[in-house]
Structure 1
Amino acid sequence: MYAKLETRTFLAMLVGVSLAFVFLMKPFFGPIFWAVAIALIFHPVQQLLIRKLGERPNINALITLVICMVIVVIPVLVLVTSLVAEGVALYQQIQSGEIRPGEYIDQVNKSFPAIQHFLAQFDVSFAELRDRTVSIFVGGSQFLAKQALGFGQNTFQFFLGLALMVYLAFFLLRDGNKLVELIIRALPLGDERERLLFAKFAEVTRATVKGNLLIAIIQGALGGIIFWILGINGALLWGVVMAIVSLLPAVGAALVWVPAAVYLAAIGDVIEAAVLTVFGIVVIGLADNLLRPLLVGRDTKLPDYIVLLSTLGGIVMFGVNGFVMGPLVAALFMSFWGIFIREFGHEAHLAVHRDAGSDEADRDRG
């Protein structure tokens, strides 16, 4: 009796201390999460280095981390810096009156009055929609301007998070296998189930990060190039915006290039509008429709609609990290239920057959 009390007390304290540790690490969730993602994505690179250079944990982890910094971290920092700079310039042009979003929308309404009549059928006020669109446009540029100011004020915090991510990624690359084995020994789920769940976690993380980021880069680059060719101002800014919104399945980059095509048609640049529309549907849209199921859906083994819903839900719950966290939660949900159905469902099926057999035997004896 006393031994059971000791065990229960210990387990209760273990849960309490573990929860306290989780809350302690909560402020560093972003750096920790991306350090884990980096370790998972670049694990094959480290395995290649092990085959080439032998078991040299520190050297292999350091080389892998340098490769990651060169091809991922530094380009992303440059891109974000460029986005903020372009956003600040856009905000200044709006403030000075060089760019008037409201006039652009009025021009579209003047050229295509059928839009207003169409919206009226659904009791949607064009004037209200115009004001909201202008507010969103101005608010977005103002947000980027504030981010630039905030980046200057919070430089230490930003680089602290970046340094923490890199630091953790190094140790996860070096000692990741040992940590996984330690967690498998600690968790009371059964080693086979735990290995299956860890494999699914790694598989989904790699697929969503690599797939979504690659699709975002491709769509953003294609969108920025076509904007630049057509002479649309802020091609770099709109290319980066298209890359960001392309993280949303189904709609993605169309949120940017469709309004641009409509405006070009409204001001009489029909050829440019047609070129942008065809390019957007055929090239940008095709890149999403072909690559996303191949890179995300196939590797995660999730249906397309689950990928869409889990991505949207993840972004709502976890912010920018949600485009990975959402599909990850969905994949683990399906994995847990798959294990349950395979193991316990099979046992229940056998129990039903045993009961049915015993009832039949009782009837025969009767």
Structure 2
Amino acid sequence: MPPDRATSQIGEHMTLGTPRPDAGEHQARPEPPLAYLAFGVLAAVVSVIFVWSVWAFLGAILWSVVAAIMFWPLNNRLLARFPARPNLAAILTLLVVIAMAVLPTVALSMFLIDQAGTIYAGIQSGQIDIPATFARVQAVLPNAATRLLRETGITDLDSLRNQLSMGISSRLQVISAHALTIGQGAASFLLSLAVMLYVTFFLLRDGRSLTASAGAAVPLAPGDRRMLAERFVAVVRATVKGGVLVGAAQGSVGGAIMALLGVPNALLWAVVMALSSLLPAVGTGLVWVPVSLYLFATAEIWRGMAMALAGVLVIGSIDNILRPILIGRDTKIPDFVVLVTTLGGLSAFGFNGLLIGPVAAALFISVWQRLSWHNGAGD
């Protein structure tokens, strides 16, 4: 018997718990179906327990995978420079992740919380009069817009104005309260951040071996595993790269235009515009449209027209020009599917859904396309 085959048979029988066959035996006796059933139940139970154990850190694990995918090329270049020091390459890459992703995100979050508290204080002191502003916007609405509101069931604009005012005030009050008690959630945030960075380090250092081990455990054909892995990596890179760069470009340009037009809190609206650009279809219109209406309502007709034209021709064009260049056709997802899955992902998973939704859509489409290809090949 060749040594490789003997070793393979010994490993199989050690794994299945069957006695070693005699020299004259060429095939192992099959395990009873009950043993396979029991092992399958055990695998399902321990898998559920494992997922339950790490459930609190699923978001941190998700973003550690994203960070490892996005900075994998940098880690490879560092490995080429320090081939015998994978720990050093992973540590240097992790420092870049912290400098380029973690610190800006923390600073941005603190800025938004501080601005929310400032706006709430302005509402409480009367410096910001939401009902009066809404009334001015309502007064400049054309008759067609008023009729449209009435046809959609909004017949009492005064009631809508009061509800909007109360809703904004209550939301800002909640955010402001969280700003005052942010220390209560600091420990949980820091723990999740530490887990994310810790897992990212090991994914960068041992990514190849971990990927090979995980791939070997997936009961799919090698071609299917390779296709799904490549699709997953391509969609993650395209979504993150396109979302971050397009959002930064739209927020920067939109904030600069608002500052030139004298819009109050232009920096805050630039940040909000960058975040809203992550939403497909509506995007930055959530910001520049109300700003344009505000300028019209305050008798700033020319500035309002300039804001509206800049929103349509400049800010909106950035998305139309940059997104295809940055994302390309890697995702291969129809626009309406991106819209539905992004909004659905936000509803189901919160902020993480911005990534989970499009990735799930891409994998769904790829799996069914692959299944139809297999069926066609079998005909």
TM-score after normalising by structure 2: 0.87
Task: Describe the SS at the equivalent of 2:262.
Answer: coil
1:64 matched to 2:101? The reply is no
1:33 matched to 2:62? The reply is yes
1:4 matched to 2:33? The reply is yes
In the aligned structure 2, how far is the partner of 1:139 from the partner of 1:217?
29
243-252 or 295-304: bigger deviation: 295-304
Q: Which residue of 2 aligns with 1:254?
A: 285
Q: State the AA in 2 paired with 1:169.
A: T
In the aligned structure 2, how far is the partner of 1:241 from the partner of 1:140?
16
CA contact (8 A) 1:31 1:165 kept: yes
In the aligned structure 2, how far is the partner of 1:121 from the partner of 1:196?
50
- Once the 2 structures are TM-superposed, how far is the Cα of residue 55 of structure 1 from its aligned partner? 4.2
Q: For residues 83 and 233 of structure 1, do their structure 2 counterparts lie closer, same or farther at Cα, with a shift above 3 Å needed?
A: same
- Once the 2 structures are TM-superposed, how far is the Cα of residue 215 of structure 1 from its aligned partner? 1.7
22-31 or 120-129: bigger deviation: 120-129
1:124 matched to 2:154? The reply is yes
Deviation track 1:109-142 (CA, whole Å, cap 9, x = no partner) reads 2233624344224332222332333234223322
Q: Which residue of 2 aligns with 1:82?
A: 111
Q: For residues 190 and 117 of structure 1, do their structure 2 counterparts lie closer, same or farther at Cα, with a shift above 3 Å needed?
A: closer
Task: Describe the SS at the equivalent of 2:32.
Answer: helix
Task: Describe the SS at the equivalent of 1:189.
Answer: coil
Task: Describe the SS at the equivalent of 2:281.
Answer: coil
332-341 or 51-60: bigger deviation: 51-60
1:323 matched to 2:358? The reply is no
Gaps of 5+ in 1: 350-366
Q: Which residue of 1 aligns with 2:263?
A: 232
- Once the 2 structures are TM-superposed, how far is the Cα of residue 310 of structure 1 from its aligned partner? 1.6
* Match for residue 307 of structure 2 among 264, 271, 276: 276
In the aligned structure 1, how far is the partner of 2:84 from the partner of 2:159?
65
* Match for residue 185 of structure 2 among 142, 146, 154: 154
In the aligned structure 2, how far is the partner of 1:270 from the partner of 1:277?
11
1:110 matched to 2:112? The reply is no
181-190 or 217-226: bigger deviation: 217-226
264-273 or 293-302: bigger deviation: 293-302
* Match for residue 250 of structure 2 among 207, 219, 222: 219
Q: Which residue of 2 aligns with 1:199?
A: 230
1:42 matched to 2:88? The reply is no
Q: Which residue of 2 aligns with 1:163?
A: 194
In the aligned structure 2, how far is the partner of 1:188 from the partner of 1:8?
17
Task: Report the count of equivalent residues.
Answer: 348
Q: State the AA in 2 paired with 1:306.
A: V
Deviation track 1:229-249 (CA, whole Å, cap 9, x = no partner) reads 222222222122212221111
CA contact (8 A) 1:297 1:304 kept: no
* Match for residue 20 of structure 1 among 49, 68, 79: 49
In the aligned structure 2, how far is the partner of 1:170 from the partner of 1:297?
29
Q: Which residue of 2 aligns with 1:101?
A: 130
* Match for residue 304 of structure 1 among 335, 338, 344: 335
Q: State the AA in 1 paired with 2:356.
A: M
Q: Which residue of 1 aligns with 2:376?
A: 345
